[in-house]
Amino acid sequence: MSAARRSILVELLCEELPPKALARLSESFAQTLAAELASAGLCAADTAVTPYATPRRLAVHMAAVAARAEDKPLRQKLMPVAVGLDASGAPTPALLKRLAALGLADLAPERLIREADGKAESLFVDTVVPGAVLADALQKALDAALLGLPIPKVMQYQLESGCEQPGWTSVSFVRPAHGLVALHGADVVPVSALGLQAGRTTRGHRFESRIPVIELRDADGYATQLEEEGAVFASFAERRALITAQLAGAAAQVGGGVRPIEDAALLDEVTALVERPNVLVGQFDAAFLAVPQECLILTMKANQKYFPLVDAEGRLTNRFLLVSNLSPADPSAIITGNERVVRPRLADAQFFYQQDRKVPLAERAVGLDRVVYHNKLGSQGERSGRVDAIAHAIVEQLRLATAPYTVEAKDEFDVLESKAREAARLAKADLLTDMVGEFPELQGIMGGYYARHEGLRDGVAIAIEDHYKPRFAGDALPRNHTGTVLALADKFETLVGLFGIGERPSGDRDPFALRRHALGIVRILIEKNLPLDLPQLVAAAVMPFGERIIDPSEPVLEFFHDRLAVLLRDQGFSAQEVDAVLALRPARLGDIPKRLAAVRAFAVLPEAAALAAANKRVGNILRKSAESVAAEVNAALLREPAEQALHAALLAALPPAGALFDAGDYSASLQALAALRAPVDAFFDHVMVNAEDAALRNNRLALLGQLHSAMNRVADLGRLAA
């Protein structure tokens, strides 16, 4: 690479970019520019790249970029010798034409190189490919970067200057662009984009810039000059960190142990809305705190981009933090203006809450019959009926799993079923409330508040509130038994119904969040260690649909195991461990953590590797066997000492291992089988399984079948073999 390497700065000045997309746009812009210039040989692949992004600009700074890439030697194939040279060794017309096309018409014959090319011999010539020039490479990189931007929605606008027909030439981009900067060191690189020619001027803060137009001195001073002359913090990351620090500082000044709501998405959005952040404290009438705090928090965050302040117990206060893009000496006008603007928003929430409570949930639930859930699956009312039926089936499974039970336990199950079915009938009623109509994110939460207001039975309100849980990765699970049953029923209804009409996730497409529903079920079953059978749950969820769907049990179960495998690997279990346990398709997911722990403990035993390999070998033998393997071993047909020893070892090891398995001590059960290593090794060393005598062969297969069954109750240990 050329020794003359300098930093490069590219900036595109626009009207306000979409804040929720700014971080992605910035990352894409920087990555593509860097990759293209590295591909052109103008910089190293690990060159330091610094992206910049503000509401009105996308920029990238790269260190050590050459003005021209080094020339590259290239050995170019011309044609076979037999075609390019005549009998006397002189160039043929075909060769001369080829050389002329390459600009090598005057090439001296001695520069032709003859080399073996497969079975024949071909002519080659050594040439030099000129290195890329920065202006050309940067133009190509800029075009690629703009084309590859993940633009959420394109705008079309007309250029006002810089073209032959101002006002008539249309450009499509995320927002109208007004300026382009391209500097290599202190020199302007002559590139263009979106009808703009690159220069060295940009603009600072709309209101607080010291000068209207900033003439950038060089690429390296971009961020500093923009901050000093333009009152703009160009780095998205630095601006985000500054806002975080200011939020903490402002909360400390308020005192009382208050803290701002933590919301990474809101922080990113606010960072994308300001160029020079200034955090201020506002407040609202404390009377609004009678409204559920989720409503107030959501309206402040979603509509006003405020950070509500909560106390040490997480209760909302009547203070909030706002991030202004202005830093006047007296911020009182900004604070007062924001307090005035937020009041009608909170008043709307208060009105919705008061009006919603006038109509009981049971009365609203009747209206669900008129609300379409899915054109192939009927109304929300029908959906609630299916959830009710599935909840009943889940309680029945729990009842059977714990039978026999006392009268008290039976009464408890009757109460649980009654509560779960009542909650199922009312859970979707809040979809018809004004509050949820305004803020769909509050569905379930508002149902819980309205249920408590009506004085519904203990646990029903919590179940309604919790039945969407877990809503996201890491979210809390339902807090009570009723909520657990309802959450499972609701998620199973969604999964089975949508799978049953062909609405299955594929690739990145998952419009109904079915992966999240499946992971929610998996987490509930495992973390609450419920004695429920997954295939039976799926079957119970299919029944209420009747003929509306095609039975999707098999693909749904496969989907569950795929999601489960991903979850377990994310938790740190190896692919081998997960594969070994899930190969048995355990019906009770609550057992899976114990099975994985048992497999991990078994794998470190000295006997583990040999037993895993033997288990794999046994599995292959049994699969390839044409005979049906008998369940019992005939001791009288055990001729060889090694097979007699293995049979005796199995008789000794199986009862204690089986008892430990039945007791749920899977680790001890597997360890009890470690004593089989020596007799298993001896069996394969001294016994011919496929004996010519059919009776002997079948008996030995039965012995191996017994061994295989014993070894694979916890997991398929053959999957642990290297």
| Contact by Cβ (8 Å): 489, 421 | no
Least confident of 75-89, 466-480, 617-631: 617-631
Cβ atoms within 10 Å of 465's Cβ, excluding its own: 25
* Residue with the larger pLDDT of the pair 458 and 215: 215
Q: Is a pLDDT exceeding 50 seen at residue 2? A: no
Check whether 162 has a pLDDT greater than 70: no
CA distance 204 to 11: 12
Q: Which of 301, 338, 299, 319 lies closest to 257 in space, CA to CA?
A: 319
| Closest by Cα among 443, 448, 488 to 470 | 488
pLDDT of res. 192: 95
Residue 405 has pLDDT above 70, yes or no: no
- pLDDT of 388 higher than 90: yes
Task: Give the pLDDT confidence of 320-367 residue by residue, as tens digits.
Answer: 999 999 999 999 999 999 999 999 999 999 999 999 999 999 999 999
Q: What is the pLDDT of residue 243?
A: 98
Which stretch of 52-56, 79-83, 362-366 has the lowest confidence by average pLDDT? 79-83
Q: What is the dihedral of CA 419, 421, 425, 428, to 10 degrees?
A: 80
Q: Is the predicted pLDDT of residue 238 greater than 60, yes or no?
A: yes
Q: How many domains does the chain have?
A: 5
pLDDT, position 407: 67
pTM: 0.81
* Structure token digits, residue 714: 């916890």
Q: Which of 149-163, 555-569, 687-701, 703-717 shows the lowest per-residue confidence on average (mean pLDDT)? A: 149-163
What is the model's pLDDT at position 168? 59
Is residue 667, in this structure, part of any structural domain at all? yes
Q: Write down the pLDDT at residue 112.
A: 86
Q: What is the pLDDT of residue 3?
A: 47
Co-location of 521 and 441 in the same domain: yes
Return the CATH number at 427.
1.10.3210
Cβ atoms of 646 and 700 within 8 Å: the answer is: no
Q: Which amino acid is at 257?
A: G
Domain for residue 659, yes or no? yes
> Do 218 and 298 have their domain in common?
no
* Residue 59 placed within a domain: yes
What's the confidence (pLDDT) of residue 700?
Answer: 85
Is 185 strand, coil or helix? coil
Alpha-carbon dihedral 717, 719, 720, 722, rounded to 10 degrees: 140
Domain assignment present for 367: no
Question: Quick check: is 588 in a domain?
Answer: no
| Same domain, yes or no: 604 and 658 | yes
- Say what the pLDDT of residue 502 is: 93
User: Can you give the residue range of the structural domain that contains 419?
Assistant: 375-572
In this structure, what are the phi and psi dihedrals at residue 499, rounded to the nearest 5 degrees? -65, -35
Confidence of residue 619 (pLDDT cuts 50, 70, 90): confident
Residues 296 and 346: beta-carbon distance below 8 Å: yes
pLDDT at 200 over 80: yes
Angle at 432 between CA 456 and CA 499, to 5 degrees: 95
In order of 182, 205, 344, 397, 589, the CA distances from 226 in angstroms are 15, 9, 38, 67, 57
Q: How far apart are CA 653 and CA 680, in angstroms?
A: 13
Question: What pLDDT digit, counting tens, does each position of 451-476 carry?
Answer: 999 999 889 999 999 999 999 888 99
Residues counted in the chain = 722
Asked if residues 51 and 26 have their Cβ atoms less than 8 Å apart, the reply is yes
Residue 160: is its pLDDT beyond 70? Answer: no
248 and 339 assigned to the same domain: yes
pLDDT of residue 687: 82
Nearest C-alpha neighbor of 181 from the set 221, 153, 240, 147: 221
8 A C-beta contact, residue 350 and residue 340: no
Query: Does the pLDDT value for residue 300 go beyond 90?
Result: yes
* 230, 256, 274 - which closes a domain: 230
Please indicate, yes or no, if residue 418 is contained in any of the structural domains. Answer: yes
Residues 114 and 251 in one domain: no
Judged on CB neighbours under 10 Å (0-12, 13-18, 19+), 503 is middle
Is 194 domain-assigned?
yes
Same domain, 139 and 273: no
Q: What is the pLDDT of residue 109?
A: 82
E runs forming strands in 49-119: 49-54, 57-66, 72-80, 113-117
Handedness of CA 106, 109, 114, 120 (dihedral sign): positive
b/e 190-225 (16+ beta carbons within 10 angstroms → b): ebebbbbebebebbbbeebbeeeebebebbbebbeb
In which region does residue 314 sit, left (phi positive, over 0), alpha (psi from -120 to 50) or beta (all else)? left
pLDDT of 163 above 70: no
- Any idea what DSSP says for residue 122? E
**What does the alpha-carbon distance between residue 707 and residue 643 come to, in Å, rounded to a whole number?**
12
Q: Has residue 584 been placed in a domain?
A: no
Out of 102-116, 414-428, 586-600, 614-628, least confident range: 614-628
Same domain flag for 500 and 614: no
pLDDT in tens, 419-449: 999 999 999 999 999 999 999 999 999 999 9
388 and 241 part of one domain: no
pLDDT digits (tens, 9 = 90+) for 259-297: 999 999 999 999 999 999 999 999 999 999 999 999 999
The pLDDT-based confidence of 164 (bands split at 50, 70, 90) is: very low
If asked whether residues 190 and 96 sit together in one domain, one would say no
pLDDT at 116: 87
How would DSSP label each residue in 262-304? P-HHHHHHHHTT-SS-EEEEEE--GGGGGS-HHHHHHHIIIII
Is residue 397 located within the same domain as residue 483? yes
Same domain for 219 and 183, yes or no, is yes
User: What number is the average pLDDT over the span 297-321?
Assistant: 96
Task: Indicate if 527 and 642 belong to the same structural domain.
Answer: no
| Long-range contacts (CB closer than 8 Å, 24 or more residues apart) made by 619-626 | 619/708, 619/716, 619/718, 621/689, 621/701, 621/704, 622/701, 622/704, 622/705, 622/708, 625/701
pLDDT at 559: 95
Q: How confident is the model at residue 626 (pLDDT cuts 50, 70, 90)?
A: low
- Other beta carbons within 10 angstroms of residue 181's beta carbon come to 23
| Structure confidence by residue, pLDDT tens digits, 9-19 | 999 999 999 99
Q: Is the pLDDT of residue 309 over 50?
A: yes
Tell which of 230, 253, 279 closes a domain: 230
Phi, psi at residue 428, to the nearest 5°? Answer: -95, 0
Which of 505, 538, 572 is where one domain is finished?
A: 572
Q: Please tell me the predicted confidence (pLDDT) of residue 561.
A: 94
Give the span between the Cα atoms of 574 and 603, in whole angstroms: 12
CATH assignment of the domain containing 679: 1.10.730.10
Could you give the CA distance from residue 123 to residue 82 in angstroms, rounded to a whole number? 9
Distance of alpha carbon 192 from alpha carbon 198, whole angstroms:
6
SS3 annotation, 338-367: HHHHHHHHHHHHHHHHHHHCCCCHHHHHHH
